[in-house]
Structure 1
């Protein structure tokens, strides 16, 4: 395929401690306390900027953990603190931080991200999510985590407060908000930033999440593993945006992409196998059970995947996990018969598309989804950091540039200008 337009891929790197492999820390060989070091994140930011990637994307984990140094996904440092460090180490790289609308305050969050936007010269974005983890509520004095409907009602109101405060800062007026969730009067002490105010990203895959995204978001962190489903999701969210008076190009659809890269297919598969050998024995089966809401630990690995595991959930409102991850996983697992072992291997503990292969295979995949209406770009999720990111920058980025679908150098100074998103 050839890219016939000036449209370019958006590529962010989703940094999850040592990487997205279940054995990322052990495989990396780095000391456990590496994720406590500002220098580590600065180094990753500089690698991403060398590859002219769009943004450095961080998740958040508001629940407590046993030891934040020991496991994949146990966020150690607070996201905006890390992003401030990355901002100081780079000059163009965008800075996307995830913070929950369920367990934060909109005025404090708006102030924190607008501060980051000023410090970085207009490179900040907020990834708005709701929190479904049952372990989180008690840490905030909430005995039972709110149900999905309640979480998204609050999310709608929360995002509106943040948006009004940022626009008020930019245009120089006060806000007067009084609804069942929030009462906010006045304005932030800060003026608008170099890009006006931070961009909005949204990561929910449920119907409520996609509706919120279509109305408010500049980008969507999607979880799709099948092209036809990605195309359907892409068009759905764009249509919602249009229904709210927006242009389709004002919202970018960005699926997650887990990469395991080798110079040959055999080398990539050997890298994957070496990682699996270092994982806890039940890691992947536990992850898939969580994604599906069905305990697979009691099923023989070589038995067929139970149909109940991939059936429509009886009552989506009662599902405690991410509905977006579940739906993406189910769509993949319905494509053909799987044993439990094959299903675990296909998903490898992730709810995102995963490619084990050569730089060419990864570049060809990204090109196909980009040019066929499945994605505007990707949130890159390297298996191991920093090596997986370095391999992508050194080996895949040149192929994407040769295809004409990715930049050779930065031009725009702010993230909003780079993504061509208007100030509203």
Structure 2
């Protein structure tokens, strides 16, 4: 069995992953914009020696969650730049879309964050679209999946080419000849694609990591191929270990087919722990949060996922109507099918009733673990040692209190087992993730090696 050290990220939300977390705060109105609160979360994660904090984003106007819980209000690039000033070691993952805007803007933003954080920046690529984003950017209609990934491929190639365009050796700073930047050493790009065009070189020099870390989220076949080619780490939604192992094996094989070292592509599924000193206490804590949820709205959400009439879910202690859901599978939107399939597989495997499925994080999508810190450590290591993951992106119930529990109770268990570091490995995020510094090679044309 592998004895590799676990990698851990933390998904930062204003109040926490549980949809009722915000109701436990004394000051509720400004959680989405309270910078001191975000700083406290980042510091708690760094105290636990977590690899990176992950700032997700909805790139557009108000989304539906804004009407029922604190939402992602702040620009993640601005937020992580601020958090860089209040932390020393933890990685800073900034999410941006590849559908809107221009690649040069993103290339400059993320490279700038890598410099101001001294090598802790990462870019999380998303290709999702929703009506608020289309409206905010003035798009009349969206793109089908194939077109979205064609746009994303051009986008990421241009971003990475700009990152490589001003290498360290071009900065000669020669006062005798009054030459600061040697133009002959630039790696200029000149590209005109179907969706994006770009020429020239970046104004931001090569960054401390050689190139910021690239994360990518998703699990469709297009997403797997895209991530295996371009990403350093994959965020994915895996609720069943057998499916996680199959995903892990497939993306590692895909990475190898692109000429990459599979060990340099990390797989980090989302995981939602709810912990306490005993399993029963953890269950009580979860129930106390679940009881604050709007079960009517949740039933409507579950009915949409299952493509059944909400009346079939009125008795929460009744069996799940699997047959009716399967009969209507074609009515489920393509974007929701993976989430739905994983959710129903987990429900079947555990013999859940409607109530248990309803409160299994159907809105967040990721697997929930309810139990003790020791049990949680054992669960994570089982997934890693049986090749279902290289680590996890943790979704914390209430932040930062749930994160403090990770730092104070879970990390010491992993350290005692020899499976987690006792200090950060190095200066950069690549150092801490066990990834090599990226060294760009001179190339002809735009396509960059990953």
CA distance in 2, matches of 1:126, 1:110: 9
Matched, 1:372 2:369: no
Taking the aligned partners of 2:352 and 2:323, their CA distance within structure 1 comes to: 10
DSSP 3-state at the match of 1:75: coil
Deviation at 1:18, TM superposition (A): 0.4
In the other structure, the counterpart of 1:359 is 373
Q: For 2:148 and 2:420, locate their aligned partners in 1 and report how far apart those are by CA, in whole Å.
A: 37
Indicate if the aligned counterparts of 2:60 and 2:136 stay in contact, CA closer than 8 A: yes
TM-score by length of 1: 0.92
Shift of 1:377: 0.4
1:306 maps to 2:322: yes
Q: Could you tell me how far 1:322 is from its partner in structure 2?
A: 4.3
* Superposed counterparts of 1:267-306, under 5 Å: 267-290=281-304, 292=305, 294-295=307-308, 297-299=310-312, 300-301=314-315, 302-306=318-322
User: What pairs up with 1:209-220 in 2 under 5 angstroms?
Assistant: 209-220=223-234
Pick from 92, 109, 112: which aligns with 2:89? 92
Quick one: which of 421, 424, 430 aligns to 1:407? Answer: 421
CA gap of 1:138–1:66, structure 2 versus 1, over 3 A, is: closer
Which residue number in structure 1 is paired with residue 19 of structure 2? Answer: 22
Determine which of 40, 46, 54 is the counterpart of 2:37: 40
SS of residue in 2 equivalent to 1:89: coil
Mapping of residues 130-169 of structure 1, within 5 Å: 130-169=127-166
Alpha-carbon distance in 2 for matches of 1:364, 1:53: 18
Question: Secondary structure at 2:85's aligned position in 1?
Answer: helix
Q: CA deviation at 1:282?
A: 2.6
Deviation string for 1:335-376 (max 9, x for gaps)?
Answer: 365443332133453311111111111111111111110110
User: Do 1:25 and 1:32's aligned partners in 2 also have CA atoms closer than 8 Å?
Assistant: no
Out of 225, 237, 243, the position equivalent to 2:251 is 237
User: Structure 2 residue aligned with 1:117, among 114, 118, 121?
Assistant: 114
Superposed counterparts of 1:6-85, under 5 Å: 7-65=4-62, 71-72=68-69, 74-85=71-82
Q: What secondary structure, in the 3-state scheme, does the structure 1 residue paired with 2:30 have?
A: helix
Shift of 1:403: 1.4
| Partner of residue 270 from structure 2, selected from 249, 256, 266 | 256
The structural deviation recorded for 1:303 is: 4.6
Deviation at 1:74, TM superposition (A): 1.4
Q: CA separation of 1:164/1:181 partners in 2, compared to 1, >3 Å: closer, same or farther?
A: same
Q: Residue 64 of structure 1 aligns to a residue in which SS? A: coil
Matches of 1:143 and 1:155, distance apart in 2: 19
Query: Which structure has the larger Rg over C-alpha atoms?
Result: 2
Partner of 2:364: 350
In 2, are the aligned partners of 1:122 and 1:414 still within 8 Å (CA)? Answer: yes
Residue 70 of structure 1 deviates from its aligned partner by 6.2
* Deviation larger for 191-200 or 132-141: 132-141
Residue deviations 1:101-154 (CA, integer Å, cap 9, x gap): 122321111111111111100100011011232332122112322222221121
Q: Does 1:108 align with 2:105?
A: yes
Structure 1, unaligned stretches of length 5 or more? none
1:92 and 1:336 map into 2 onto residues whose CA distance is 39
Structure 2 unmatched ranges of 5 or more:
169-185, 441-450
The alignment covers a number of residue pairs equal to 418
Equivalent residue of 2:8, what SS? strand
SS in 2 for 1:181: coil
- Alpha-carbon distance in 1 for matches of 2:286, 2:347: 21
Question: Aligned to 1:8, what secondary structure does the other structure show?
Answer: coil
Alpha-carbon deviation of 1:218?
A: 0.3
Q: Deviations over 1:20-62 (max 9, x none)?
A: 1110100233432133122111111111111110001011012
Compared CA separation, residues 381 and 176, structure 1 to 2 (3 A): same
Structure 1 residues 271-280 or 293-302, which shifts more?
A: 293-302
Could you say which residue in structure 1 is the equivalent of 2:173? none
